[in-house]
Each structure stands twice: as C-alpha cells, then as structure tokens.
Structure 1
Amino acid sequence: MSIIPNEATKIEVTGATVDFFELAKDGVSTYYFDTSKCGPPDPMVNAMCGLRLIKNTNNTLVMINHKSPGGLFAKLEADIAHTVESTDDGLLKITFTNVNAGVDSDLTQTACH
C-alpha cells in the first residue's frame, strides 16, 4: 500500500533526485516523496528540496524513508516541526510542518554531517 495518495499529482522540484507529488485540498498542499530505497545523500537532498516548498506556508511535506533521518532533524530549527510514524510495511512516514517561531532553518545545507 502506497502512502502517497493516488490522486496526488507528480510535480517538478528543482534539485530533487526522486519524484515529488502534490495533493491540494482547500487551498493547502501536501507534498510527498519517497526515499525509502535511497542511500545517502539522497534522503537529505530531497528533504531540503521539499522543505523549501513548505517554508513560510501552511503546506505540509511527507517523507517516506527506511529510517529516521537524525542528521536532517539536527539541521532544523524551531520553525520546522516534524512527527514520525511507523508504517505497516516497516518504513517511516515523517511529516514536516512550518511553524511561525521567529527563527529560520538553513535549508541550503544538504550534507549529512
């Protein structure tokens, strides 16, 4: 079962190395991407590309990955919140939302260290 909804539309995201999808509802978009079969640095690179889509918006980003991206979490300031859920097939669904916290995460650093 795919976590990315069937009604989501494939979109182009600058710098991404995997497909991104958008599902718009009531004026808010949820963006999805799956890096569960990718190795470093692709999860970090694609997460940063996706996070730029939601920066300073009410939109949401959903990342599907094979493990928790601790290196990514360490790069985020209080302006980007995340939740992690396990899926039935052993993957992780990480949902990112923008929070108005008066700080500004640097979304240009795509290295894992």
Structure 2
Amino acid sequence: MSLIPNEAVKIEVNGATVDFFELTKDGVSTYYFDTSKCGPPDPMVNAMSGLRLIKNTNNTLVMINHKAPGGLFAKLEADIAHSVEEVNGFMKITFSSVNAGVDSDLTQIACH
C-alpha cells in the first residue's frame, strides 16, 4: 500500500535518488517521496533535495520512511517545520517552510 496519492504526478528532482511526485491543489503543491526501503544516505540525500523544493514557499514535502530521521531533524533550523505520523508501520514526515529569520543549510547531506 503506497502512502503517495494515486493522482500525484511523477516529477524530476535535482539530486534525488528515488522517484518524487507532486500533487497540486488550490495552487499549493505537496511533494512526496518514499525512502522506506532505502538505507543511508538515501533518506537524507532525498530529503535535502525535496526540502529545496519547498524552502520559502507555501508548499509541503512528505517523506515516507521506515523510521523518523532524527539525524535529519538535527540539521533543520526553525525555518523548516516538521510533523511525524505513523501510518501502517511507516513514518510519514511532513515538512513545511516557516519564515523564522533563520536559514537551514540544505546542502549538508551526510547522515552524521
């Protein structure tokens, strides 16, 4: 069972190693990717690629992973908010950009 909506459209994302999808409603896009079957560094690499899509926008990014990416959360400043939800044994992490006067460095893709 995929947690990515069927109506989402596959897109190309610079630096990504997995497929990304976009679903647009009312002019706002939600981007999705699934790294639940990937090991390091793929979750971090793809999250950073996806976060660049939403930075300073009203769009959101949804990451499907086998666990909550604590190493990723530690790299984010107050300008990237996230929420974590467990769905069918997978972690669904939703990221959004926040105008907080700080700037997360989205170029650091190492897991440590």
| Counterpart in the other structure of 2:50 | 50
Percent identity for Structure 1 against Structure 2:
87
Query: Which TM-score applies when normalising by structure 1?
Result: 0.98
Secondary structure of the 2:7 match is coil
| Counterpart in the other structure of 1:99 | 98
- Which stretches of structure 1, 4 residues or more, deviate above 3 A after TM superposition? none
| Counterpart in the other structure of 2:14 | 14
Kindly provide the amino acid, as one letter, of the partner of residue 59 in structure 1.
N
Distance (Å, rounded) in 2 between the aligned partners of 1:83 and 1:33: 16
Structure 2: gaps (5+ residues): none
C-alpha displacement at 1:3, in angstroms? 1.0
Distance (Å, rounded) in 2 between the aligned partners of 1:3 and 1:71: 23
| Counterpart in the other structure of 2:29 | 29
Distance (Å, rounded) in 2 between the aligned partners of 1:71 and 1:55: 19
C-alpha displacement at 1:2, in angstroms? 1.5
Query: Which TM-score applies when normalising by structure 2?
Result: 0.99
| Counterpart in the other structure of 1:110 | 109
Distance (Å, rounded) in 1 between the aligned partners of 2:100 and 2:63: 22
Distance (Å, rounded) in 2 between the aligned partners of 1:97 and 1:3: 18
Q: CA RMSD in A?
A: 0.4
Secondary structure of the 1:72 match is helix
| Counterpart in the other structure of 1:68 | 68
Aligned residues: 112
Structure 1: gaps (5+ residues): none
